[in-house]
Chain A
Amino acid sequence: MIRVSNLRKSFGDIEVLRGIDYEIEKGEKIVIVGPSGSGKSTFLRCLNLLERPTSGDIWFEKTRITDKKVNINAIREQMGMVFQQFNLFNNLKIIDNITLAPIKHKLQTKEQAVESAMNLLERVGLKDKAEAYPSQLSGGQKQRIAIVRSLAMNPKVMLFDEPTSALDPEMVGEVLDVMKELAETGMTMVVVTHEMGFAREVGTKVLFMDDGIIVEESNPQEFFGNPQSPRLKDFLSKVL
């Protein structure tokens, strides 16, 4: 579904991604872990071109999205993204946060968009917050809304950039629950996280990134039970 080939990204003189090759199949739940500064968020942000790669290619289904001629907005409609800082639109009510994009893309009429938004809100238990503004919600609520906002576009894949890192500890669970539920629906997911429990439980593949490359990649049992590289062993010994 997503294929990445020799992806490199530099910020000034610093090369953050130093050649990444990877292929994500439909329905997979890829969990990316690694120390901070390892390039995992940058990698994720390259997948929908929020960061433009310095070199290398990314294919989404049959489209080479790194081609300058590709309409990236049409691609992004199909790739949802959830941010560490939630990034709900502060000037809009929750219901408008969710329905803005589907309405502007003319995927749905306003009535349809509101109806499906309310259904999604019900699924995450926040139907009563439809008329609230983002500033009136807790971090966990904001992040659940952010997930709903992405889902309202009916994406084919969901990208999560450290979705629980900015949350108070007691709110991490409610967000992970929504993500687990989403995983059960068969959604293709790419998740950058520090939640090792989530990686073990939900991931179909776990990737360990360090210093701009994928150091190790395997299924969760192997990854946590039988790590190969010294760097991963060292990392796991610190976080587990």
Chain B
Amino acid sequence: MEFFDSLKAFFYSSIIEQDRYKIIISGLKNTLIISFFATILGIALGMIVAVTKYFAKGNGNVILKGFDKLCSLYITVVRGTPVMVQLFIWSLVVLASWTHAIPVACIGFGFNSGAYVAEIFRAGIEAVDVGQEEAGRSLGLTRISTMKYIVMPQAIKNILPALGNEFITLLKETSVAGYIAVNDLTMAGSIIKSNTWDGRIYFVIALIYLVMVMAISKVLKTFERRLAKGDKSK
């Protein structure tokens, strides 16, 4: 009984008292905002980088080659440095003049995620049978049209599980946003803990992350199943 009493006391002081749940809700909101926009930015960047690299392969165009080099540099630097250090550089140097931390975090995480997403897209594009592109080209479609209507839709289907993992990783990674003064979900836990001195609040925080991750997994599964409709026997 003692255990339950202590649990009840914890819930009261950490969640109910002084409307502390509101801290959690606003932290959750910020975590979701950052994850959402970082994901969009990450997909956009990743797709641009992967497609650029794909088109640069076997093409003599100097401008394209230049972009290709830039993309490689981007992937190397982003994957070779910790996301927290990148975040500090965004918030203290590059975007130091921005007064709101959340947009900075969106850009920082999105820029980071883009490099990983680019590699996922690259693998997905390479996994599409080269005959698909050849068939498109043999019908007189341009490389861009062939990419858009034939290769990319199949690539996306291939990479959906990997992309899902990347979103999940990203969502959890945003928990370091507190270091650049964002009140995210993890930070909400820290704030409450500093008032109540009860570390068990992190169980609550963990549970919220877990529920979100499970929800994302579920949505992605459904999505995958729907996309798989086209190639049952393959």
Q: Which A residues lie at the B interface, using CB under 8 A? A: 48, 50, 73-81, 83, 85, 87-92, 100-101, 104-105, 133-136, 146, 149-150, 153
Contact = CB atoms under 8 A, between A and B. Distances in A.
Task: State the 3 A-B residue pairs at the shortest beta-carbon distance, nearest first.
Answer: A77-B140, A87-B135, A101-B139
B123 interface: no
Contact of B140 (A88, A105, A134): A105
A90 B135 contact: no
7 contacts: A48-B138, A78-B140, A87-B135, A88-B135, A92-B149, A136-B233, A149-B139
B149 A104 contact: yes
Contacts of A90: 132, 154, 230-231, 234
Contact of B137 (A76, A89, A133): A76
A60 to B, nearest CB: 13
B157 interface: yes
B142 A73 contact: yes
Contact of B232 (A75, A80, A92, A135): A135
A150 B134 CA distance: 13
A162 to B, nearest CB: 13
Contacts of A85: 129, 131
Contacts of A48: 138
A153 B140 contact: yes
B137 A153 contact: no
A18 B154 CA distance: 37
Given A91-B150, A104-B149, A153-B140, A50 B231 contact: no
Nearest to B234: A135
Contact of A91 (B140, B157, B232, B233): B157
Contacts of A136: 232-233
B161 interface: no
A191 to B, nearest CB: 15
Contacts of A75: 140
Given A74-B140, A135-B234, A91 B131 contact: no
Interface in B36-57: none
A161 B152 CA distance: 26
A100 B232 CA distance: 22
Contacts of B131: 83, 85, 87
Nearest to B135: A87
B136 interface: yes
Interface in B188-220: none
Given A87-B134, A88-B135, A153-B139, A135 B150 contact: no
Contacts of B233: 135-136
B138 to A, nearest CB: 4
B230 A101 contact: no
A77 B154 contact: no
A29 to B, nearest CB: 19
A79 B138 CA distance: 8
A47 to B, nearest CB: 10
B25 interface: no
A50 B230 contact: no
Given A100-B149, A101-B141, A135 B135 contact: no
B138 A50 contact: yes
B223 to A, nearest CB: 15
Contacts of B136: 89
B230 A83 contact: no
B139 A91 contact: no
A3 to B, nearest CB: 20
B140 A89 contact: no
A103 to B, nearest CB: 10
Nearest to B149: A100
Nearest to A68: B60
Contacts of B135: 81, 83, 87-89, 146
Contacts of B229: 133
A91 B154 contact: yes
A100 B230 CA distance: 17
A73 B140 contact: yes
A133 B231 contact: yes
Nearest to B130: A87
A91 B151 CA distance: 9
A136 B142 CA distance: 28
B145 interface: yes
A71 to B, nearest CB: 9
